[in-house]
């Protein structure tokens, strides 16, 4: 493009710009004060919204920080309680384990004492049974010897005091003959 064609083009555009500029001036004259009023209202509204938004953000941030602080405190308190309860349980568990060990030792000691006592008692009973058995055996032997001696004495006494069978038979025969009067009585008797 040449310089002349550029000038021609700008003069052609110029009347459009001039008429657009005139329209703006007319619009500014007719609606200018209302538009400025609207613009200032929008500006104040925008500033007020931005201010309230900043206030709300600040309040939300404060609440979030307060909530985070509260939650941290609660979590820390829960952690401390958890640690405390765990320590208490460990202590109680250790105490119970110690108590179980002590009871187990005591039970084993008592069982051992009971075993020793039962063994001693059994030994004593066996000894008593043995002693009684020996006493009974000696009593039985003594009684047997006494009975044997008494039987021997009785047998000897019976032998000494018994009548001879032949003599007894003669006696009975004589009695029978006398009862029948068949026995002659000798003269001197």
Greatest Cα-to-Cα distance within the chain, rounded to the nearest angstrom? 229
User: pLDDT by residue (tens digit) across 94-128?
Assistant: 999 999 999 999 999 999 999 999 999 999 999 99
Tell me the pLDDT tens digit for each residue of 13-31: 565 666 767 877 887 777 7
Percent of the chain with pLDDT strictly greater than 70 = 83
How many other CB atoms sit within 10 Å of the CB of residue 177?
A: 12
Give pLDDT, residue 38.
82
User: What pLDDT, in 10s, does the model give residues 150-169?
Assistant: 888 888 877 776 667 777 78
| pLDDT score for 155 | 80
Distances (CA, A) of 7 to 2, 18, 20, 57, 89: 9, 16, 20, 57, 98
Contact, 106 vs 99, CB < 8 A?
Answer: no
Residue ranges in the chain assigned as alpha helix (H): 3-161, 165-179
* Residues constituting the chain: 189
Give the per-residue pLDDT at 183. 67
DSSP 187: T
Residue 11: the pLDDT is 46
Q: Give exposure, 79-116, as e/b (b: 16+ Cβ within 10 Å).
A: eeeeeeeeeeeeeeeeeeeeeeeeeeeeeeeeeeeeee
Distance CA 7, CA 18 (A): 16
Q: What is the dihedral of CA 34, 39, 45, 48, to 10 degrees?
A: -130
Contact 154, 163 (CB under 8 A): no
């Amino acid at each position: 493009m040449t310089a002349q064609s550029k000038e021609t083009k700008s003069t052609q555009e110029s009347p459009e710009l001039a008429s657009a500029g005139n329209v703006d001036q007319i619009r500014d004259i007719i609606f200018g004060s209302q538009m400025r009023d609207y613009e200032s209202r929008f500006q104040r509204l925008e500033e007020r919204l931005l201010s309230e938004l900043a206030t709300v953000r600040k309040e939300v941030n404060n609440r979030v920080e307060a909530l985070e602080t509260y939650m941290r405190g609660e979590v820390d308190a829960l952690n401390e309680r958890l640690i405390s309860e765990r320590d208490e349980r460990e202590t109680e568990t250790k105490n119970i384990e110690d108590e179980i060990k002590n009871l187990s030792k005591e039970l084993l000691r008592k069982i051992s004492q009971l075993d020793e006592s039962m063994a001693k008692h059994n030994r004593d009973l066996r000894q008593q049974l043995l002693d009684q058995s020996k006493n009974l055996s000696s009593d039985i032997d003594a009684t047997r010897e006494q009975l044997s001696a008494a039987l021997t004495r009785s047998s000897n006494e019976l032998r000494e005091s018994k009548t001879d069978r032949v003599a007894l038979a003669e006696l009975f025969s004589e009695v029978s003959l006398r009862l029948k009067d068949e026995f002659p009585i000798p003269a001197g008797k």
